[in-house]
Structure 1
Amino acid sequence: MPRFPLAPLAAALAALTPSVMAAPTPALPIQIEADNADGVGQRNANASGNVVVTQGNQRLQADWMQLFADTDEIQAGDKTILDSGPDHLEGGKLKLHQADRTGELEQPVYTTRTRRGRGDALKLLFDGPDRYKLMQARYTTCGPGNDDWFLKAGQLDLDYTRNIGTARDGQIEFKGVPILYAPWLDFSLDGSRKSGLLTPELKVGGSNGIQLTVPYYWNIAPNRDATFSPRLITNRGIMLSNEFRYLEPTFAGTIEGDYINNDRRYGDKRWAFNLQHKQALAPGLTGLLNLQSASDDRYFADFGDRIAVASKTYLPREAVLSYNQPWWNLSGRVVKFQTLQQDAKNPVDTPYAQLPNISLNASPALPAPFRANISGELVAFRHPTKQNGDRMIFNPSLSMPLATSYGFITPKLGLHSTSYRLDASQGASSGHQSRTLPIFSVDGGLFFDRELNWFDTDLIQSLEPRLYYVRVPYRDQSKLPNFDAGEADFNFAQMFSENRFTGNDRINDANQLTVALTSRLFETYTGAERLRLAIGQRFYFQKQQVTLSSPARKENENSSDIIASIGGQPLPNWWVDSSWQYNQRDHRTQKTGLNLRYQPEPGHLLNVRYRYDRAPTPEVKQIDISGQWPIAKGWYGMARQNYSLEDRKALESLLGLEYNAGCWAFRMVGQRFVTSAQDAPTTLFFQLELNDVGRLGSNPLETLRQSIPGYSKLN
């Protein structure tokens, strides 16, 4: 958790002040050098002219030095320099009583490479063993000669006996203008967590207007904390947010909650809740809770400031209990979903609840090269408007993977047995249904390599043919329910799977062979993949009869679409990843995608993406351009435009500016994204970041990372 940003001022001194001002260590010898030295008996001693006192890695330099045995006092001046490892402190006259560790150093100026910062003060007071006071203290991470910003404190007390610092009249000054003030605060000196105010956050834009959040962090215990975040939303009201975290030897979790008593735009109270809990109940036995809820369908569309949050559709409420052993595991799960209907024109289907889902997976040891896998599942599906039922699955398989340096072959034989008990609900009849299918597959491939030299570059080219055969007999499944089955996306990876459906309610009939060829070019000495070419196609030896909703494959259709892809890093700083799905029957492209990136160095980035898919209605045709590029000294522009060519509208637009001054950065970002047919919220981000100290304003970094792949934070 970040602290109020004045804390680094003391943290910078934490590695500096105690060490350079510490009492001599008896185990290490002390060496004193000077141009002149004299003493009065054994009571007083004087040294002058290039006085240097060293002990270990600590070094004190002064124009002169006096030692008074009666009072055990050291005085040095007129200029005093103290070094401890990489840290440096200098000032005017020094007075220090060794016994009680009291005294003062005039006008200290310090540099700490440990914290990459520097600062000064009017006076440094020694207030006892490991206790210090700095009057009119300043701190910055800007280099010498650059005074763009400072952390300031009228008085800074550092108590290393309790590892607590206290600042009075603290403020942040930027370009000579105070921008944040705190009359009093205390903080930790050893990096441990401490209760206190966090940096306020300001957001502008969208239907909410201006949002001001002032978080307070409560360090309840070393293993528990909470953050309270009251938020003023000008167009809606006051929202109270809380995050509570806990960590115990056997369990850990987070509880989050938001509440607004009266949303002026919505006309009622609104809230959201999220509980994440994990617990080790016994050796091998673990539990998990994931409970999410919101007051209404529009909650995240109104209060989510990122696409992933604003477009939430399903909120799970689940509990999981798992027992894991070396070769088998058993788990039980209950889950229901809250479905958020954000767009009335495009309603979302509510998934089945699983009350419960009990699954077993086992991999018993067999003599090499055989491998066995046994999976089973028992699920009770419940839905408010659809037929309910129970499903039991038993799916054992036996494989024999054989691999050499030049190839592999893996024959596999399995059995997929499914049994249903259906309730008489929603107009459907009750009864029992079952399906048992043997599944046979063989996966094999070869590896060929040869050495090449192109343009004075040593390369290795691989050639990797692969065959994958699947045989599954036909069973009529038209009378079976569909609780969780869907049509899998047809792509290069899916061609090497047994079933073209997701879930377990539909198992395709198959007598098919997938043929694929991959070739790669690697640099011999770096291993960089310069080029990757792949092409594949599935061939059918019989008509497909099992379908989900789309028409069955035609009887004369004996092959799938062709899938091809090109990827790699063909040139320095250039990356490409493309795919193409071609329909031979209709002689047209079914799906294609192109991702192109140019990034010669951090902050110099250009992404171009194109996506086309004929299957949906309407078809998908999108172009996505994003980048980050310097536009003037210290200035960088960031932008993204995700545009639907089919709908002739922007799905996401982002435009931003970032100024990197070395020790601070300023970001200004505007984002507009579509969450539904009626909604396209706009959010503005303004952030000032002081290096190694903290950030003020609203944070756009997560938005930039999600919207611009490869975005680099430059300071």
Structure 2
Amino acid sequence: MQIRYLLALGLFPQLALADDVVQAPAEDQCLVIPPVPVPDADAQSSTSEQVEIRSNSSDAIMNQSAVFEGDVKFRQGSRSIHADRANMDYEKQRLEASGNLVFQDSQFTVTADNLSAEIKDNSAKLEGAKYWLHGQQVHGDANKLEITKDNNLNLRGTNFTTCPPGDNSWKLEAERIKIDGTEEWGEVWDATLRIGDVPVFYVPYMTVPVSDKRKTGFLFPEFSTSTTNGVEVATPWYWNIAPEYDLTLTPHYMSSRGLFMQGEFRYLAGDAQAGQVNLEYLGSDRMLAKDSDRYLYHWEQRGAIDKHWRVNAAFTDVSDNNYFNDLDSAVARATDNQLSRIGEMSYFENDWNVSARVQDIKVLGEDEMPYQVMPQVNFNYRQRDLINTLEFGFMGEATNFEHKDSEMVTATRLHMQPSLTLPIQGPAGSLTSELAVLQTNYWQRNTELLNGESLDESVSRTIPRAKIHGQINLERNTSWLGDRYRQTLEPQFQYLYVGYENQSGIGVYDTAPLQDDYYGLFRARRFSGLDRVADANQMTLGLTTRFFDENNLEQFKFSLGQIAYFSPSKVSFYEGLIEERPSESAIAAELDARVTDNWYLSGAVQYDARTSDNKKSEFTLDYRPGGNKLLQFSYRYVPDLINTNNNDQVNISQAGMRTTWPLTDNLYFVGNWYYDLNESRSVETYTGFQYESCCWAVRLSYHYRIKTNYEDTFNPVQDNRELFESGVYLNFVIKGLGGSGPLGVSDMLNEGLFNYRKPLYLRN
């Protein structure tokens, strides 16, 4: 028989109501006890002074004492106690309980031999305790455990870990631990870290996080060794300055180079803006002939000031061209050779927007310096449904181009582009017509060129453009190998006319040829920027077919297209350069297919049927039978690329293989291999093993890759640089002791020169 008491006492009134007592967790899984939900304030206040007691039997003396036995349950607010026996002393305001005791509130669960609670100050002491923090994997034992009135934990003769019960992969033993329930971090005295019951580290005092909240302290170090840097040890230190500021300092020692200091300061500016500052410095690099100092500074900020205004700013500079090739920077990768410096402010309304920016780009490893945009103002306006569905658009731009070389040609450019667009759309297809006028004015300075020729000081260029694009949507039901599909057939065409005007008197400031692919066949221009507008009189024909399964998921897509030129274009990127103008473009084709449930094929080809030349091709074949299981084969071919070091043309022909595969539930293998078929050599090899459990993770990897060696005219710090670099890297994380959490397999796929590029997977 259950006996129920309702008492008006002040036992632990400040916390929320718990629904059920959580029993001691199982020992065969990662342990995370969910937090107890907190009721609203009205519900809490109405019950905060009420204590409910249930038991199989009781013996009470009014206003003096009471004894409860048999499945005793105490509850008030969020705190509850289960025990075999309990004594209540009304005069001393004390509660004692023992026997299969479980204590729970909104922040933790404790099992113990016995409990003594002081009702007046809402505190409790437990002996022989085991505790679990809700919402965390943190748990441990304590000879004595005290719950203070501000809901903190004081533990003596204690330990804690994030491993499942019974797993002794790591454990932190301490004479005393104080866990702050509000700040969610712990103070530890006389601590010994044991890994597999072996003591490996002692510290008299330390602080540790018990949640994902930011906390000042050291993060786990990283170890590696390589042929260019020697033995490397990085020990990051994190400083949680304020809720909107933090700083990470990383001393990075390289036995071959010296001490490499890295600092990253992050900040929030208002509700919707964020930024960071990075400073890196390596004094007297011993791998360089002159022991030169090497440095980086970087600043960026972006976000919204309000619902109309946006801001974007970034600035980066390095001491030399090979900085990213030699040093593991937090700002950019070894394959990045452009440093962008930009400041931009934008204002947006429903139908129009305006922006102003300045930009400077530093290209590493090249003598030629791009033009600086100082400044540029853009204006865009669009009026829908001007007359029925007729749309009016206007794009305006005013740009001033400067150059660090005072002898270079500079210019101010004003461009205006009004347009009328008539879209007609329906389920069966679409037809879109567009008329536009491109009006551009140049005012150029220092117009004398090195070859003795000169540009025009003033240019006014007016070019009309007309475009008609149409597409038809056809579909049918079909079957393939016994499966039913819905097939679409989407033929499309585009006629493009762009007027011709001689542009030999205009310099090239921000313009470059665009890459060709299937979607590029339907572009209205051959060049980026505005300095060259190619004339055109051409028709593009394209066809796309898709297969959808019975769940309307795309399983196959193939596109094929080509441009027919009715008249050859007279505009070249560099005036005076004679370019062959065939009557049709290369045939462009793209394919994405789910071959079987686990095999995916993706490819793109540009083929010149007139000369039987492969202009560009790339293919990937993926096998993905499940999560974190991948086997990818790839090939790419690009002919006639310009080598910026000597201006020679080179062909790129490379094959590669990439895989990530779980060897066991906790052990993963990741490997990359890329081979240059022209040079008959490997350009990159990466092999890595990662073991990860609930409470710790370790990664061991080997990297062999070709190095990019730039000539340096900005800061000549060249040495006898190696063509290839190899190294061994070790990362170790103990979760719950300042580690950054799971190392992850996906970032291993992105390490190296060739990032993992997931094909355009069809939905599955």
* TM-superposed deviation, 1:697: 12
- Residues 291-440 of structure 1 mapped to structure 2, 5 A cutoff: 291-304=315-328, 309-341=333-365, 347=366, 349-365=368-384, 366-383=386-403, 384=405, 386-424=408-446, 425=448, 427=450, 429=454, 431-440=457-466
- 2:368 alignment partner, SS class: coil
- Check whether the contact 2:162–2:735 (CA below 8 A) recurs between aligned residues: yes
- Check whether the contact 1:686–1:698 (CA below 8 A) recurs between aligned residues: no
Aligned residues: percent identity? Answer: 26
* TM-superposed deviation, 1:570: 2.8
Q: Tell whether 2:537 aligns with 1:511.
A: yes
- Check whether the contact 2:697–2:743 (CA below 8 A) recurs between aligned residues: no
Query: Which residue in the other structure is 1:618 paired with?
Result: 650
Name the CA distance, whole Å, in 2 between partners of 1:505 and 1:432: 14
- Check whether the contact 1:215–1:228 (CA below 8 A) recurs between aligned residues: yes
* TM-superposed deviation, 1:643: 1.5
From 448, 463, 486, the equivalent of 1:460 is 486
Q: Tell whether 2:447 aligns with 1:445.
A: no
Name the CA distance, whole Å, in 2 between partners of 1:23 and 1:491: 68
Name the CA distance, whole Å, in 1 between partners of 2:301 and 2:657: 40
Query: Which residue in the other structure is 1:344 paired with?
Result: none
* TM-superposed deviation, 1:533: 1.4
TM-score under structure 1 length normalisation: 0.88
Q: Tell whether 2:726 aligns with 1:682.
A: yes
Moved more, 156-165 or 265-274: 156-165
Query: Which residue in the other structure is 2:670 paired with?
Result: 638
- 1:30 alignment partner, SS class: strand
- Check whether the contact 1:609–1:624 (CA below 8 A) recurs between aligned residues: yes
- Residues 43-442 of structure 1 mapped to structure 2, 5 A cutoff: 43-55=64-76, 59-83=80-104, 88-112=109-133, 114-160=135-181, 165-179=186-200, 181-186=202-207, 192-249=213-270, 251-266=273-288, 267-278=291-302, 284-304=308-328, 309-341=333-365, 347=366, 349-365=368-384, 366-383=386-403, 384=405, 386-424=408-446, 425=448, 427=450, 429=454, 431-442=457-468
Name the CA distance, whole Å, in 1 between partners of 2:656 and 2:465: 42
* TM-superposed deviation, 1:236: 2.2
- Check whether the contact 1:361–1:375 (CA below 8 A) recurs between aligned residues: yes
Q: Taking structure 1 as reference, are residues 695 and 681 closer, same or farther at Cα in structure 2, changes over 3 Å only? A: farther
* TM-superposed deviation, 1:577: 1.0
Q: Taking structure 1 as reference, are residues 698 and 52 closer, same or farther at Cα in structure 2, changes over 3 Å only? A: closer
- 1:301 alignment partner, SS class: helix
Query: Which residue in the other structure is 1:695 paired with?
Result: 739
From 514, 521, 524, the equivalent of 1:495 is 521
Amino acid at match of 2:381: A
* TM-superposed deviation, 1:629: 1.8
- Check whether the contact 2:136–2:210 (CA below 8 A) recurs between aligned residues: no
Q: Tell whether 2:503 aligns with 1:482.
A: no
Query: Which residue in the other structure is 2:562 paired with?
Result: 537
Query: Which residue in the other structure is 2:688 paired with?
Result: 656
Q: Taking structure 1 as reference, are residues 150 and 13 closer, same or farther at Cα in structure 2, changes over 3 Å only? A: farther
- Superposed CA deviations along residues 348-379 of structure 1, whole A, max 9, x for unmatched, are 53211122222222213423311122112222
- Check whether the contact 2:670–2:748 (CA below 8 A) recurs between aligned residues: no
Query: Which residue in the other structure is 1:4 paired with?
Result: none
Q: Taking structure 1 as reference, are residues 537 and 191 closer, same or farther at Cα in structure 2, changes over 3 Å only? A: closer
Name the CA distance, whole Å, in 2 between partners of 1:473 and 1:24: 80
Q: Taking structure 1 as reference, are residues 148 and 247 closer, same or farther at Cα in structure 2, changes over 3 Å only? A: same
- 1:494 alignment partner, SS class: helix
Q: Tell whether 2:619 aligns with 1:600.
A: no
Q: Tell whether 2:590 aligns with 1:558.
A: no
- 2:724 alignment partner, SS class: coil
Query: Which residue in the other structure is 1:584 paired with?
Result: 609
- Check whether the contact 2:696–2:733 (CA below 8 A) recurs between aligned residues: yes
* TM-superposed deviation, 1:597: 1.0
CA RMSD, aligned part only? 3.3
Query: Which residue in the other structure is 1:704 paired with?
Result: 749
Query: Which residue in the other structure is 1:37 paired with?
Result: 58
Name the CA distance, whole Å, in 2 between partners of 1:206 and 1:574: 38
Name the CA distance, whole Å, in 2 between partners of 1:390 and 1:107: 80
Higher relative contact order (CA 8 A, sep 6+): 2
* TM-superposed deviation, 1:47: 2.4
Structure 1 spans left out of the alignment, 5+ residues: 1-10, 342-346
- Superposed CA deviations along residues 8-62 of structure 1, whole A, max 9, x for unmatched, are xxx989959x99xx9995365513113x422345312222344333457754222
* TM-superposed deviation, 1:466: 0.3
Q: Taking structure 1 as reference, are residues 503 and 311 closer, same or farther at Cα in structure 2, changes over 3 Å only? A: same
Amino acid at match of 2:242: A
- Check whether the contact 2:160–2:171 (CA below 8 A) recurs between aligned residues: yes
* TM-superposed deviation, 1:86: 10
* TM-superposed deviation, 1:497: 0.5
* TM-superposed deviation, 1:324: 2.5
Query: Which residue in the other structure is 2:7 paired with?
Result: none
Q: Taking structure 1 as reference, are residues 163 and 199 closer, same or farther at Cα in structure 2, changes over 3 Å only? A: same
- Check whether the contact 2:161–2:736 (CA below 8 A) recurs between aligned residues: no
Amino acid at match of 2:467: S
Q: Taking structure 1 as reference, are residues 283 and 31 closer, same or farther at Cα in structure 2, changes over 3 Å only? A: closer
Structure 2 spans left out of the alignment, 5+ residues: 1-30, 642-648, 710-721, 760-764
- 1:268 alignment partner, SS class: coil
